[in-house]
Amino acid sequence: MTVNEIAKTLEELAPLAHAEDFDNVGLLVGDPKMKVDGILVTLDTLENVVDEAIEKKCNLIVSFHPIIFKGLKRLTGSNYVERVVLKAIANNIAIYSMHTALDNSKMGVNAKICEVLGIQDPEILIPRAKSIKKLTTYVPRADAEKIKLALFEAGAGDIGKYSHCSYSLEGTGSFKAENGANPTVGTVGEVHFEKETQINVIFSFEKEKSILRALFESHPYEEIAYEVITLENTNQDMGMGMIGTLSTPIEEKEFLKSVKQRMNASVVRHSELLGNKVSKVAVLGGSGAFAIGAAKRSGADIYITADLKYHDFYQAEKQLVVADIGHFETEQFTKDLLVDYLTKKIPNFAVSLSESITNPIKYL
């Protein structure tokens, strides 16, 4: 398989279009056409990870965090980022990053945290806004089912656990073909009335090009009437964080002890305990101060995240317990998730879990 083919497989789990605007995801180093001999999956791409890839004969590193985040003006090896890139290039190793594309995936970082913590029936904590679009088009009635099927195959019509969703209206369209036109029905120079079906389907924003291509290829008219609008609806299958429930309510302190043990956390920093039992838990891997308000509004008893500052803990306001278990600690199982995913998708391929230590934070 090539780098590009493996990238497409990864995008089935986490489309790059789902990444946040500030992020740098996708193929960061290497030739997309290069044949891949082995894949090394890591949380961070550091020099020791590149050395491990060389040792294990892996020429593609799939990394959660991007090693190149800001623009590089020179490559002289003066810092750890430049040294990693230079070493990867020198050894013909490609680097692919997923980061917030995987954060926003319903089966990504936060789903893995929920799995490790035993959180059941998880849902997106902050569903993505303005990521659902609607296509409306008008087609001859005889072609309606064929065109709908083409749109469905291109990815339109998915709502939650349902597929092939659409809404149709019957009506009459009119048009007059002017000189130079080549109408499928009707006569040049005459107003024509055609029994038509109005088709409405929704789709995730990153599928727009493929869906319009399917429309153009399946529609019989020379000129196609259609409109695409962005909906205000939030996307329940895409977004930051997750929230779910525990099978059995548990005391706050006991739950935090369980979190510390299951997440291999050296320290758990938390706001004031409220003396309530924990039943509803919100999680967000990495820096999650921005989601404290959403966790409160969702009715969570406790919110597990990382990188909280002193004043962030005040936001708990005795409505929930806010806990910081460390950035690395919240995301460490992401590489296990990716190894499992790639192994299932390409079972006859060499996929290795990195053993290199990349957590930059140490504790006494």
Supply the CATH number for residue 78's domain: 3.40.1390.30
Regarding whether 73 and 43 lie in a shared domain, the answer is: yes
Tokens of 209: 């090009």
φ, ψ of residue 174 in degrees (nearest 5) = -130, 150
Domain that holds residue 209: 132-233
- Is 361 contained in some domain? no
Do 143 and 121 have their domain in common? Answer: no
Of the pLDDT bands very low, low, confident and very high (cuts 50, 70, 90), residue 257 is very high
Strand-pairing partners, residue 19, are: none
Tokens of 274: 């409220």
Q: In Å, how far are 96, 157, 233 from 127, measured between CA atoms?
A: 26, 18, 9
Does residue 71 surpass a pLDDT of 90?
Answer: no
Query: How many domains is the chain built from?
Result: 3
Q: What percent of the chain has pLDDT over 70?
A: 100
Q: What is the pTM of this model?
A: 0.91
Q: What percent of the chain has pLDDT over 90?
A: 97
86 and 137 inside one domain: no
Same domain? For 169 and 117 the reply is: no
Within-domain flag for 346: yes
Q: Is residue 104 part of a domain?
A: no
Whether 360 is in a domain gets the answer no
Q: Are residues 201 and 214 in the same domain?
A: yes
Tokens 């939030």: give the residue: 234
Asked if residue 364 is part of any domain, the answer here is no
Amino acid identity for residue 300 in this structure: A
Closest CA to 94 of 27, 8, 7: 27
pLDDT by residue (tens digit) across 161-202?
A: 899 999 999 999 999 999 999 999 999 999 999 999 999 999
Between CA 280 and CA 298 the distance in angstroms is 9
Torsion sign over Cα 218, 223, 225, 226: positive
pLDDT of the residue at 273? 98
Q: Domain end: 198, 233, 268, which one? A: 233
Digit-coded pLDDT (tens) for 280-331? 999 999 999 999 999 999 999 999 999 999 999 999 999 999 999 999 999 9
